Structure 1
Amino acid sequence: MTKTVEERYQEAKTRYAEIGVDTEAALKKLQEVKISMHCWQGDDVKGFLNPEGELTGGIMATGDYPGAAHTPDQLRQDMEKALALIPGKHKINLHAIYLDTDEAIDLDEIEPKHFEKWAKWANEQGVGLDFNPTFFSHPMMKDGMTLAHPDKAVRDYWIEHGKRSRKIAEYLGKETGQTCINNFWMPDGMKDNPIDRYTPRKRMMESLDEIFEEDLNETYTQEAVESKLFGLGAEAYTVGSHEFYMGYGLTRDKLICLDAGHFHPTEVISNKLSSLALFSKGIMLHVSRPVRWDSDHVVIMDDELQEIGKEIVRNDLLDKTNIGLDFFDATINRIAAWVVGTRNTQKALLKAMLEPTNELKQIELENDYTKRMALTEELKDFPYADVWNYFCEQNDAPVGMNWYEEVMNYERDILSTRDKELATAK
């Protein structure tokens, strides 16, 4: 006779209790975690600033899977579907290019009113909103530079965009009643070896200082700065390196954003969390998956994702860490990408919450490395999936692969019609 989700959970609960783990406490803790699900997976990072949806450089998704969102309403519809398949209440991460307005405006003209529909929708869905100014895919990104460009007119354009983005983030925080994390990432860099690495960084620092000159209420918005090792067209030199933004964040009282794909191929962000937690105001994560480079693949349950979860939970950093996603894959169903990536991030946290952390720390303190290895290896065989399935059921989210059928039905009924409708409209 097949056991129910409840029965399997009760068995798992008993087994975990034998090693001193309270599954009910773990589930309560997981229920409080909000993952910031990024909007740009749904339309391949095109946004709605340019009606033609053409990127002008700085970022790019690959693939042509049918059904991408072409309007804000379609994108919200798709995210509603994804959120319904993910247990818990979360946040949505917006970029500035995802404004919802009939006005023809540029990035240095955006205002809170251009995001009113997003705020209203978020409140209807019971989700929070995060934000990002968009310093890419725009003609004013000149010579691979924005805030670090030697031309003051270029810098002034992007400074104005940054200032306006701060006001929008503040507005979104006020409207939703949840602090809006506003994350700043600039792709400024050079393709080949520069002579002067110092001066562009000085210009970047001064530009950011001008953007952040006005104090905003941190109840409504907090700001993060995000580094990167290299990018397409900036293979030799990136102005906003890890060292630059670690220094900037620590001295300017900003959150420091770590993106899983923004470092050397053998370098991981999990090992940086404990160090930054000691000195920084807080941390913003962009949970992604690099494949040989910052390729932003959909998050899978790999070793690094689990290590990120362990570092956050073992060191009690949930209150100090804002967890967001950053990947975009246009070769697969975009809603499925959201669901897989978000649920995996939650699973990684749950697995860490189901460890006997205090006992493991005591074993380590006593230099009993044999038992440390034996117990951590044994934990890999514990039935965390039965606890996860129970969590899904308690949140009215599909258990196991049941979500996949819903996504395929949505693709058949909704997504498959979009490209035809767009072609007819043109």
Structure 2
Amino acid sequence: HQAYLGFRAHAHSRVFYRRREKNIERKCGNLAEWTHRFGGAYPFMLVLDADSTMAGETILRMVDAMERNPGIGLLQTTPTIIKGQTLFARVSQFSVRLYGRVAAAGLAWWAGSEASYWGHNAILRTEAFASSAHLPILEGREPFGGAILSHDTVEAALLRRAGWAVHVTAALDGSCEETPATMLDFIQRDHRWCQGNMQHLGLLKTRSMTVMNRIQMAMGFMAYFSSPLWLASLVAGMVIQLQYPTDWSSFAYLLHPEFSPFMLATLLSGVLLIGPKVMGGLLVLSRPRERRAFGGGRRIAKGMAMEILLSALIAPIMMVASTKAIIQIASGHDAGWKAQDRDADGVSWRDAFRAMRWQMATGLLFCVGLGFRPDLVTWFAPVVLPLLFSVPLVVFTSRRGLGDAAAKAGFLAVPDEAGVSVSTIPSSTQSSVLRA
């Protein structure tokens, strides 16, 4: 409250602070209550999270785009991550800053006027939102029933069903947010998102929903369901291999690989995983101003190498975490909506051990299988080793000291270290927010 009073004293416009008497239905309830009581006085509303920021020029450009395009119901920016200090947060911050624009541009092209809404750092046409985006209360008990957790995707679908365009733009800088500081906080938030995306399965049969919105909801679910599929494929592969004797010729295959369907699938997987990262890196390297903002080509290359390495180590941990979340949600466990600490500095060994026991147990089970087939160690090591060492990975990546040391050494450094967005998008691109 004191922060609000201080801001109001120096603001050059009227500022209001609201506190609902009945804080129901979380964030979507907050938006619905404001729209119902005050929305008629405002043609647009800018939605931000508590950890979001947006430059004034960015807001003005968004308002201008909405005024010039009366058929748009929602315009979503692609926020960059700021204030990442722990090693884990810096991985997300660097990857979004370097690669995010490529992914966002692809999404904007692919989805067109049926793009996604991420719940914040977006501007909405109040009339459109009030008339068409009222969220239903799902039948049944939580976790599948009750209030919709991942409300943003559903609100975008409702806007599209009513004929309003929903766009995402990669042509604006100055839109920022923060990210969970530790892997445990990230997993906690991901658990809630997983439940929200599982709720969407019941909405796929909603009448008049566009094909694109159905695809987006299905893709949101698959983003989590792919984890148990990955784990199941690893287990199935191990079980199949245990039917055969040890064959050390697999090492010779690594030294002298031959082209095969397996090799082709591996190469395609690598292109899909690493390709967007390479494209993002090349884009920045090709632009002198952006390259200097990141500290030069050498720092970019070092940051990319560390980001890819740490992402590869984190992936098996998230595989088990998402699998566990799906099992818990399917068995009736509600993820809830817990507040997160963006300023956390360090996770205790005890908390990390308690949180990672499923990861370690999974790694040990694979080790049992490898005891019978030691020739497969090379193939399973990229998955098994991060699981076995998940506790120290959680602990060390949660420390600010290591994150700061990495940045000083030229790893994972970004232009806006101090939380001040440095525009790396040419002004000629920013002048046209929407692409036809």
Output the TM-score relative to the length of structure 2: 0.27
Would you tell me which structure has more helix in proportion to its own residues?
2
Q: Which has the larger radius of gyration?
A: 2
